[in-house]
Structure formats: structure tokens, C-alpha cells
Amino acid sequence: MPAVEIYDTTLRDGAQGEGISFSIEDKIKIALRLDKMGFHYIEGGWPGSNPKDAGFFNQIGEYSLKNARIAAFGCTRRPNTEAAADENIQSIINVRTSIAAIVGKTWDFHVTHALQTTLEENLLMIRESIACLKGKGIKVFYDAEHFFDGFKANPVYAQATLDAAVQGGADVLVFCDTNGGSLPQEIAEIIGGLRLKYTVPFGIHCHNDGELAVANTLAAVQAGVTHVQGTVNGYGERCGNANLCSIIPNLALKYGVQTIPQERLSKLTALSRYVSEIANMHPAAQQPFVGSSAFAHKGGIHVNAILKDYRTYEHIDPELIGNKRRVLVSELSGLSNILYKYKELKLDHTPEGAQTIPDKQILEQIKELESQGFQFEGAEGSLELMLRKVYHNYEEPFRLENLRIIIELKENSPAYSEAVIKLTVGDRVVHTAAEGNGPVNALDNALRKALEEFFPDIRKIQLNDYKVRVLDETEGTGGVVRVLIETGDGQHSWNTVGVSANIIEASWQALVDSIAYGLLKIKGSSDIAGTD
């Protein structure tokens, strides 16, 4: 297959996804990252629709892009107007971009019901709008909106709109599955037939309403498309757009098609997470290729096999796209999971990985704790501390002697919380108290206050997230709860877990592990882990 050029529309189509709003600065950052990745085109937005998109085009010109060209999006002229006088067309010309993507109506139903104009006038709108931009030296990609629905409803008119675009000088005909309801075989059959009639390069733009945007895009490439449009992480309106984080590795690694430079594929996972962070969207763990669960293994049989050869349960080497293999430890684990964790955590073990009685003991302990409600696959900080205690004489940096939580409620007054704590650190006993806006916050403050003198690095450790789940709803307020805490030091984050019928005790378990694990990683195991 010939090389495929990648056209990213995260900044325009992706921004239409629910809960996503990019500032101009956000869009600049993403555009620079896409350029560094080697994307061919970056659609900056619709300059005629809002000041933010117009501002992006004004500012992006201050940066020197090495790989990508910036495209402006717009629609054909309004019915019964001159293209040169149309505000939308002029907005594209005014931002001085060398690339324009113009969307036009392909489906006769849309022409008569949405545009409320004649079929002939729509053809003139397409041809004249493209010709006007071409006359200004702008390269034009014609986005044939609702093409597959339009073709199935009226193939003669759908092709007439393509003819109009070609007559206007369109450089690429982009077939849009705007409603996202087409099937791969339909895409391949329709594009394959049209490929015999046109010499202009073809493009594809799919939405994901049928969970087929990636499959439809790949089918289009097989049928002769050489221009692929999509978004990072599949962000977009409704169910999203075709996900470039899946399309690019599928084309490059499965089809052997040149897309972005080969050496940039290993940065794809980092790109996915960078864009999700800027979009303020939690990364989808189960997203193919780049998700944190994409190469995560839980079952003992699976882990035993991948220890021998990753190809037994992985379709590619995760390092090819910058992801990594993860082995989870849970009640479904076998001894292979434990052995893998030793290797992953760089912990010493018995010669040649020989299985020992402690291996089986720790595995049974994990399974017993999971039956009580612990969840170590999402709390690897707590898991590592457990492994160190069994094999490396790990000693906790402090020991609780006594803890008292005081909560005072008064009518028309904020709740008052105070934690009084007594700890043993080395050969010293520390007794202190602290207030908080709730009992867990007061507990956290008191613990940090007591330890700060001994471990100044504790100032770097911050609680990022705190989640509580009732494990047995039938017990009501007396049910066992699981507390998951995410903690970070500004560069890395880790999760810890606690389980108890008492929410304060469960919180204490998770909080102690989060602090102990953070100190272990920041200060180094030799400082606080005994003979480890």
C-alpha cells in the first residue's frame, strides 16, 4: 500500500467532545506536540466560528513547525451568495493558511432539509467555494459530509457533488461517515468503486457511533484512501472520532504502511496521555495500544506464558508504541505473577527464580486479603511494601501507638475535626495533634506533622485522590469499606489500599502505606528499609 498522510482534527472535531474545552494556549501546546510526532496536517479550528479559533491561527504563525502544515476548517458559501463575499470563506483567506478543509453537503436529504436550498445550488456552492480558495493559492481538502448515507440514498447526486468539488479544483476528496453508522464492507465497496472513476487522492473521516470508526478507516485505506483524518484518543462529538492512537499503529505495524516517522511510534503512548492531561480527561485505561490496561495481565496462566514469550498473549511488543507490560496481582494470580513482580520491582530473589515456600505463602496471603475486600491490582504501592516485608526485612518507618479522632458538630457551625496521634519513630515517641476540614484530613495533617522532623522529604508527598467504596451494600452504614488513595511527589504517583468496617481505620491503612511507600521511593530503600 502507498504511504498514508495523517490529518489531525483534535483541535476542532475533538474539541466538540463533551467535557472538552481547549484554550488557545492548550491548542498551541497540542499542535507543537503533533508536529514533533511527525503528523502531516493539523486542523486548527474554524476561524469563522469563534474568536478562540481565530486567535489560534494568529498565534501559531509565531512558531516554526518542522513537519506539519496547519489547516483551517470551514463550510461552503451560503446559498445564493458570492463565494468571494462570503464571511466564512473570507475568514479562511484572512488567516493566511496554506491548507483549507471545506465541508459540503453530499446527501440530498440534507440539502433540502438542513440547507433548505436546491440540489443544483448546492453543487454551485461546492464548486465556487473551492475555486475561490484555490484562486488564492490555498490547497483544499473537500470534506464530503454524510457521504456514505448520501451515496446509499442517491448515488447519482452524491457523485455529482464529488464532480463539483473536482471541477472547483479540490486536491483531496475526503469521504465522511458523519453519523458513524456505516459498516466496513460498505465503506470498502463504495470507495473501491469510486476509485475507478476519479484520479484525485481520496481521504476518510469517520465517527465512532457504531464502534467502527477505526475499522472503517482501515477498510477505506485498503480500498485506496491515502489521507486519514482522526483525533488523538478518539475525542469528538457524541461517541467520538476515529482514534489516531489506534489507526497509526495498525497501519504501521499490521499493514506495513508508512504514516508518521517510524522512530516516533514509540512516543505514541506519551502523546495520548499528554493530550488527555491537557483536555482534563482521565486516560481511558482499556484504550487499545496506549491504555494502561492494554498490556496488563492478571491470570496466572497468562503471566506464566508471557514470561516465556510475550507473543503468547500480546499482539505486539508494547515498547513499539511506548507502552509497557504490566502484571497485576490479585486472587486470580499464580506464582508466575509474584515472580514477575520481583523482576519488575528489581527485587532480589532466590537463584534462577526458584519458587520457595514464602512465594506460596505471600500468594495465599494476597488471595485471603482480596477475599476480604483488598484490591492490589489497583494498589501496587501496598503490594510492594507487602513483598518487601516478607523477603527483605523491611521495617516500617514509624509505628502507631495511639490515635484519637475528635469530631464536633454544632448547629449552624462548620464541623470541627481534630486528630491526636502518638507514634514511635526509631527510639523516640512523638505525640502531636492537628486539625482538618474532616477526620481524614485531620489524620493526614497530624501524621505529617509528627513525621516531618524525621523525614523532611514528606513535604514532597501529596495526596492526589481519595476514594471510598462500600463493599457490601446490604449492611448499610455498617458495611465494610475499601479506601483507595492516590499519592504523588510531583513526578510519579502510586496507589495504596485499606479495608475495614471502620472508615477511619481503612483510611489509616491506606494513608500509612502511601507515606511509607513515598518515603521509600524518595529517600531510597537503604535509608528506611532495614537490611533491604
Per-residue pLDDT of the chain (532 residues; tens, 9 = 90+): 789 999 999 999 999 999 999 999 999 999 999 999 999 999 999 997 888 899 999 999 999 999 999 999 999 999 999 999 999 999 999 998 999 999 999 999 999 998 999 999 999 999 999 999 999 999 999 999 999 999 999 999 999 999 999 999 999 999 999 999 999 999 999 999 999 999 999 999 999 999 999 999 999 999 999 999 999 999 999 999 999 999 999 999 999 999 999 999 999 999 999 999 899 888 888 999 999 889 888 776 777 787 778 889 899 999 999 998 877 665 555 556 666 666 666 665 554 444 454 556 666 666 666 666 665 656 677 777 777 776 666 678 888 899 999 998 888 888 889 999 999 998 899 999 999 888 888 999 999 999 998 998 888 888 888 888 887 666 666 678 888 888 888 777 888 888 888 888 889 989 988 888 888 877 653 343 433 3
| Radius of gyration over every alpha carbon of the chain, rounded to an integer in angstroms | 29
Give me the pLDDT at residue 367, please: 64
Give me the pLDDT at residue 82, please: 95
Contact 221, 1 (CB under 8 A): yes
Helix or strand run (H / E) with residue 115: none
Contact 120, 164 (CB under 8 A): no
Contact 66, 106 (CB under 8 A): no
Catalogue all structural domains in the chain, each as residue range(s) with its CATH number: 5-260 (3.20.20.70), 352-387+460-532 (3.30.160.340), 398-454 (3.30.160)
Spell out the alpha helix ranges (H) of 11-118.
24-37, 51-60, 87-94, 108-110
- In this structure, what C-alpha cell is assigned to residue 99? 491548507
Count Cα atoms within 13 angstroms, Cβ side, for 135: 12
3-state SS class at 131: helix
Contact 235, 279 (CB under 8 A): yes
Cβ partners under 8 Å of residue 167, min gap 6:
127, 131
Put simply, whether the predicted model's pTM sits higher than 0.85 gets the answer no
106: DSSP letter: -
Neighbours of 253 (CB within 10 A): 17
Angle at the Cα of 99 from the Cα atoms of 151 and 104, rounded to 5 degrees: 25
